[in-house]
């Protein structure tokens, strides 16, 4: 039996309850991968299997939601462009392409996400994995993101955003005080993206220095570890970053007292870049992890010297250990460590 309008209105801020109401209203079978998460206040879906009729209840419920603390939309189908010719249910021209990788599908999902981000006060994790973003879609998403004060951990792992998209994300995130970690691994980021990330970190540095100065003037004890802001940046598998992009980050981090970990696996770093990292670690003793594994042009002896210096840095930080920050797997290992970031 279809619920009343009053019931649906009452359920609208609660994703799972409203989703089931909408499925019943539109005569669509609720997806098991969504209903199985009902008791957890999370939405973690692989969007590749979602059909046209199944998309509306999901996005409508998402747009009205104020209950989810974790949202993950993933795609395992890697594409390098979105299909712009999609006409409703007539999908013969995109038969072998998931709906999420069409212009229509992404527009519907991103619009719903934007509305959710602007409404919610409880969402802490946003994971968008393996998606292709146009500039317009990403701009729309970043508008919602910049208004979400509760967000703590953001991941665009394996999503195609490029340097322009990196700039949009960094501009949206820089004023969000509660964000602890940003994962833009395998996002086709190059030298310009490295500059954008450095500007994000510099902006937060200035904000933190301002707060430190205010506390000092009031004769308060300044605890830098409890100040808000980004603690981890993951830029793995962006081989176009190179030494040139790395240098922007190195220069920025020489004066940084807050960032604990930066992941740079397979980022096109050579011995020259590794030497700069080693010099950085002798100046910045706060950094506990600088992960440059899988950069095959880095000499083994130089890599061991960096590990040794990191171990020394870690030993000076009583409350921090390398094990707390090291990540061995992406993205699942990334999520397993998120609870540590707020400590």
pLDDT score at 82: 52
- Please name which of 143, 256, 236 lies closest in space to residue 189, comparing C-alpha atoms: 236
Helix (H) or strand (E) holding 207: helix 191-217
Residue 296: what pLDDT? 94
Extents of the domains making up the chain: 1-89+101-113, 152-213+233-343
Q: How many other CB atoms are found less than 10 A from the CB of residue 189?
A: 26
Q: What does the buried/exposed string (b/e) look like for 239-270 if buried means 16 or more CB atoms within 10 Å of the residue's CB?
A: ebbbbebbbbbbebbeebebbbbbbbbbbbbb
Tell the residue number behind the tokens 């990330």, with chain if given: 197
> If you classify domain 152-213+233-343 with CATH, what class do you get?
alpha beta
Do residues 162 and 191 make contact, with C-beta atoms less than 8 angstroms apart? no
The token duo for 118 is: 């602007």
Q: How far is CA 32 from CA 46, 125, 252, in A?
A: 12, 22, 46
Q: Residue 140: helix, strand or coil by DSSP?
A: helix
- 189 and 157 Cβ atoms separated by less than 8 Å: no
The label of the residue with tokens 């199985």 reads 36
- In angstroms, how far is CA 111 from the centroid of its own chain? 18
> Nearest 5°: phi and psi at 275?
-60, -40
What is the per-residue pLDDT for 257?
Answer: 83
Burial of 220 (0-12, 13-18, 19+ CB in 10 A): exposed
Residue corresponding to tokens 């993951």: 234
pLDDT on residue 223: 54
Cα–Cα distance measured from residue 341 to residue 178, given in angstroms and rounded to the nearest whole number: 11
Residue 97: predicted pLDDT: 75
Q: Over the Cα atoms of the chain, what is R_g?
A: 22
**Which pLDDT does position 315 carry in this prediction?**
80
pLDDT tens per residue, the chain (343 residues)? 455 666 666 767 899 999 999 999 989 999 999 999 988 899 999 999 899 999 999 999 999 999 999 999 999 886 655 545 544 444 434 456 789 989 999 999 999 999 999 999 999 999 999 999 999 999 999 999 999 999 999 999 999 999 999 999 999 999 998 999 999 999 999 999 999 999 999 999 888 877 665 555 454 544 556 677 899 999 999 999 999 999 999 999 998 888 999 999 999 999 999 999 999 999 998 898 999 999 999 999 999 999 999 998 888 765 555 545 455 444 433 443 333 333 3
């Amino acid at each position: 039996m279809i619920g009343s309008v009053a019931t649906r209105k009452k359920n609208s801020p609660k994703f799972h309850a409203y989703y089931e109401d909408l499925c019943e209203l539109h005569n669509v079978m609720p997806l098991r991968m969504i209903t199985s998460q009902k008791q957890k206040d999370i939405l973690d879906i692989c969007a590749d299997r979602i059909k046209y009729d199944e998309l509306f209840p999901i996005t409508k419920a998402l747009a009205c939601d104020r209950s989810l603390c974790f949202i993950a939309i993933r795609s395992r189908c890697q594409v390098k462009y979105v299909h712009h010719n999609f006409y409703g249910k007539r999908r013969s021209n995109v038969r072998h392409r998931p709906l999420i990788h069409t212009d229509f599908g992404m527009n519907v999902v991103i619009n719903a996400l934007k509305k959710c981000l602007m409404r919610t006060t409880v969402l802490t994790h946003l994971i968008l994995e393996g998606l292709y973003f146009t500039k317009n879609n990403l701009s729309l998403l970043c508008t919602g993101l910049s208004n979400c004060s509760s967000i703590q951990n953001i991941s665009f792992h394996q999503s195609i955003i490029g340097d322009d998209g990196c700039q949009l994300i960094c501009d949206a995130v820089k004023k969000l005080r509660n964000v602890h970690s940003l994962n833009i691994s395998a996002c086709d980021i190059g030298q310009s993206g490295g500059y954008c990330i450095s500007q994000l970190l510099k902006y937060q540095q200035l904000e933190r220095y301002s707060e430190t100065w205010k506390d000092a003037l009031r004769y308060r004890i300044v605890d830098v570890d409890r100040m808000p802001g980004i603690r981890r940046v993951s830029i793995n598998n962006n081989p176009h970053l190179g030494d040139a992009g790395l240098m922007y980050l190195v220069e920025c981090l020489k004066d940084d007292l807050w960032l604990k970990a930066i992941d740079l696996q397979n980022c096109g770093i050579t011995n020259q870049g590794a030497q700069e990292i080693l010099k950085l670690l002798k100046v910045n003793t706060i950094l506990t992890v600088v992960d440059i594994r899988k950069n095959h042009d880095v000499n083994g002896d130089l890599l061991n010297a960096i590990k040794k210096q990191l171990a020394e840095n870690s030993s000076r930080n009583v409350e921090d250990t390398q094990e707390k920050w090291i990540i061995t797997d992406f993205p699942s290992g990334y999520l397993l460590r998120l609870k540590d970031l707020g400590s």
